[in-house]
Structure 1
Amino acid sequence: MKIAFLADPLSSFKTYKDSTYAMMVEAAKRGHTVYAFEQKDMALDSGVVYANAAEITITGDSHDWYRAAPAQETNLGEFDAIIQRKDPPFDMEYIYGTYLLELAEKQGAKVFNKPSAIRDHNEKLSIAQFSQFTSPTLVTADEARIRAFQKHHGDIILKPLDGMGGAGVFRVTADGMNLGSIIETLTYNGARTIMVQRYIPEIVKGDKRILVIAGKPVPYSLARIPQNGEVRGNLAAGGVGVAQPLTERDYEIANTLGPILAARGLLLVGLDVIGDCLTEVNVTSPTCFQEITQQTGFQVAAMFIDAVEAAVQAQ
């Protein structure tokens, strides 16, 4: 197959941990031809979506890890599969990219995850569809509501709806210290909607990333454990990742959400779970493939490419 990856610049990849790199290596190992392009490389011309895509050869060298042939303008419908791996920020450029990919689907392109499904699933707000698994949650820009929520629950977490990697996450304890300043900062003085949740003490044991591929969970999560007094377990915020078998509750959450999300066109999802509570549904570019494989031996990238091959054959 010809598999194209819409990703960030290849030169920015940290190959020892990058999940997109693991996908590319597995695809190439199976004899698939791997291509790469960036969002800025796409164009709509006379009703057809093109991209300046380069064929990629994986060298096996951790530093100089790829060779790229000269990019060629290619109708996206000519690829057997397009893997959407562009990282947030989920801004208007990102949304424009999903529109172009959606048009490419009408040309015959098979895009994973489905562009409209990515657009429809805000990674924070999507948990509201599965409230049986969540901690008490408030979404608002209203200061009075936030203050009332904090007074009722005492210990809370506040975060933006468009953040990633733990950016902009604040904890306020029962004394309410700095609550007003944090509300002003996150809501832009009431102009921006944010999420507020009751603090989940089990965060000290890790923020678990559960990968769900084609509706089925990978049997291990990566618990991202906060360090040095941090409340954030995100690897980007200094958390340490520890792979561990899924718990009974993890399976309950993953097996409930998995088939629903897969039916919506989300081939790969990263569920974030703290304790027994679902906190996020990651659909843009879920990570942790390599950490789980390195610590457990379970071949996450192989499971993913299996799912891509099966999805292409089924369409």
Structure 2
Amino acid sequence: MRILIILDPLEKITTYKDSTFAMMVEADRRGHAVFVCEQHELSLAGGRTVAHARLLRLLDPTGKDRAWYALGEPAEEPVAAFDATLMRKDPPFDMEYVYSTYLLEHAVREGAKVYNDPTAIRGHNEKLAIAEFPQFAAPMLVTRSAQALRGFVDEHGIAVFKLLDGMGGSSIFRAERGDPNLSVIIETLNQFGNRSVMAQRFLPEIADGDKRVLLIGGKVVPFCLARIPKTGEFRGNLAAGGRGVARELSAKDREVGEAVAQVLAPRGLLLVGLDLIGECITEINVTSPTCFQEIRDQTGFGVAAMFVDALEEAAGAR
């Protein structure tokens, strides 16, 4: 296959933990040709969505050498000319990201196979998507009302506030009943009623880790990565200093994962990352889910191999 990957600059990839790197290595190992481009190298020209792409040659599949790759000469090709396209641009999910989904959506109409499906990405806000699965979610509220946010804290005692476009644990606050800073927290987040805020009941199970459960091609990866908060912190995100510990899925983890996969996979969401605290889903990640390498390194399970298997099947290469 000829695979196009839309991603962040290669020189910024942290090879020892980056999931896109693991995908590229596995695809290359199987003899697939991997092409890369950045988000700004997508265009609509002559009525077609085109990519200014380069062939990637892996010089060091371990990624330990700083010169681990070489790039061919750039060439402009229709996205539909590739056998499969992976949208792996990391958030923020800003308007430029949205415009890229429009361009890729047009490519799909031209016959391109894009994963995750750009329409599905745009339609699944990673915070709000949990509302589709209330049976697996903790009590929550999404509002621009400061009064409603205060009322939610009063009702539940402790809540977590987050912005709908946040990532990596940024702009997440723990709010408690009686906290003299509660008004300041609310004003900081909702900008005096100008921004929507999600409130979720605080889950004390966070002390045991915020679990990333991966869904690939409608199937559940049998291991998760529990991201355990550092001392004095309630956020488990690795970007916020959390420690990743791979674990075999519990029966409940698998039940939740299978139920969500059954709904999301038919929408073209080939790769999904569920965040679970205890038995509750807190987010559903569809932009560029990670944790491939951490799970592989600690358990030996080939997450990237499972992903490329699913990609080959979805693209009709198997």
Q: TM-score, normalised by structure 2?
A: 0.98
CA distance in 1, matches of 2:67, 2:282: 37
Structure 2 residue aligned with 1:16: 16
Q: CA RMSD in A?
A: 1.0
The partner residue of 1:70 within 68, 73, 76 is 73
CA distance in 1, matches of 2:182, 2:141: 15
Structure 1 residue aligned with 2:198: 195
CA contact under 8 A between 2:176 and 2:182: conserved in structure 1? Answer: no
Structure 2 residue aligned with 1:138: 141
C-alpha deviation, 1:176, in angstroms: 2.5
C-alpha deviation, 1:101, in angstroms: 0.3
Q: TM-score, normalised by structure 1?
A: 0.98
Structure 2 residue aligned with 1:106: 109
Confirm whether residue 283 of structure 1 aligns to residue 286 of structure 2: yes
CA contact under 8 A between 1:114 and 1:266: conserved in structure 2? Answer: yes
The partner residue of 2:274 within 249, 262, 271 is 271
Write the letter of the residue equivalent to 2:21.
Y
Structure 2 residue aligned with 1:45: 45
CA contact under 8 A between 1:35 and 1:53: conserved in structure 2? Answer: yes
Structure 2 residue aligned with 1:234: 237
Structure 1 residue aligned with 2:247: 244
User: Alignment length, in residue pairs?
Assistant: 315
In structure 2, runs of 5+ residues without a counterpart are none
Write the letter of the residue equivalent to 1:49.
T
C-alpha deviation, 1:314, in angstroms: 7.7
CA contact under 8 A between 2:8 and 2:89: conserved in structure 1? Answer: yes
Q: In structure 1, the residue corresponding to 2:180 is in which secondary structure?
A: coil
4+ runs of 1 displaced by more than 6 Å?
none
C-alpha deviation, 1:45, in angstroms: 1.0
Write the letter of the residue equivalent to 1:254.
G
CA contact under 8 A between 2:215 and 2:257: conserved in structure 1? Answer: yes
Q: Percent identity?
A: 55
Confirm whether residue 302 of structure 1 aligns to residue 285 of structure 2: no
Q: How does 1:157-196 map to 2 (within 5 A)?
A: 157-196=160-199
Cα deviations across residues 186-210 of structure 1 (Å, max 9, x unaligned)?
1111100010011000001000000
Q: In structure 2, the residue corresponding to 1:149 is in which secondary structure?
A: helix
CA distance in 1, matches of 2:314, 2:272: 15
CA distance in 1, matches of 2:191, 2:152: 19
Cα deviations across residues 76-116 of structure 1 (Å, max 9, x unaligned)?
11100000101111111000000000111122110000000
CA distance in 2, matches of 1:104, 1:267: 17
In structure 1, runs of 5+ residues without a counterpart are none
CA contact under 8 A between 1:207 and 1:274: conserved in structure 2? Answer: yes
CA contact under 8 A between 2:158 and 2:175: conserved in structure 1? Answer: yes
Structure 2 residue aligned with 1:7: 7
Structure 1 residue aligned with 2:120: 117
Cα deviations across residues 192-241 of structure 1 (Å, max 9, x unaligned)?
00100110000010000000001111000000000021111000000000
Write the letter of the residue equivalent to 1:127.
I
Write the letter of the residue equivalent to 2:220.
P
Confirm whether residue 82 of structure 1 aligns to residue 90 of structure 2: no
CA contact under 8 A between 1:216 and 1:255: conserved in structure 2? Answer: yes
CA distance in 1, matches of 2:302, 2:315: 20
